[in-house]
Amino acid sequence: MRIGRARSLAAFALAVLLGPSGCGHTSSDGGTDEIPGLTKADREAQSAAMAELGRHWLKGPDGWTTAIVSGSPYAPDHFLRQCRTLTIKEMEPQDLSESDKLNGFEWVGRANFSPTSCREGGGQNTLVLDGMSNVVVNKQAGRWSQWVDFTPGPLRFAREKGRWQFNWDATYLRGTLPGPQDFANAGVR
């Protein structure tokens, strides 16, 4: 039983590392609504991805906000990250081999996101999005940074034996739902 579970996890890890090899299913307009041309399994995967994002991001009038803790345990940096939109523009399922299916995998792939605008508020005076945006901007305590252009990377995940498994390392899943105290600590609304 342990060996089978290890093989299943190894197959999932390999799928995440190698990326999808199947055809992509794309939407011309993007959006969180159903993407035209998706299979039933792809639509379920899209819904699962948005539900998982909803466990980490709070959707509000200015966008999607998450509370982040980065840095070391000895000097943690608590701040808020906000993306104007989190829109899945494409679902890329991976073709499953017979072995994948025998190991319990029902869907493996990734969700690709549309470019968006992001900002960060509160925390230490460090680079917004760790410098991965179109311009170099610092975040500051007590205020939101300026908006920067950003294209979020893909969110890789799989469904194995009826359960959705998300790659925690994805930037989207590092934060937690922000509460009133997180906004107060950051000094922003």
Per residue in 126-161, pLDDT (tens digit) is 889 888 888 889 988 899 999 999 888 899 999 999
In angstroms, the CA 106 to CA 140 distance is: 44
pLDDT at 134: 82
Most confident of the following: 14-23, 43-52, 69-78: 43-52
In angstroms, the CA 173 to CA 167 distance is: 8
pLDDT at 33: 58
pLDDT bucket at 17, cuts 50 / 70 / 90: very low
pLDDT at 117: 95
Predicted TM-score (pTM) of the model is: 0.77
Q: What is the residue range of 145's domain? A: 2-186
- Domain count of the chain? 1
Answer whether residue 18 shows pLDDT above 50: no
Answer whether residue 32 shows pLDDT above 70: no
- State whether the Cα torsion 169-29-129-176 is positive or negative: negative
Q: What digits encode the pLDDT tens for the residues 89-98?
A: 999 999 999 9
Q: What is the mean pLDDT of residues 63-67?
A: 95
pLDDT at 94: 95
Angle, CA of 90, 96 and 98, to the nearest 5°: 170
Q: What is the mean pLDDT of the chain?
A: 82
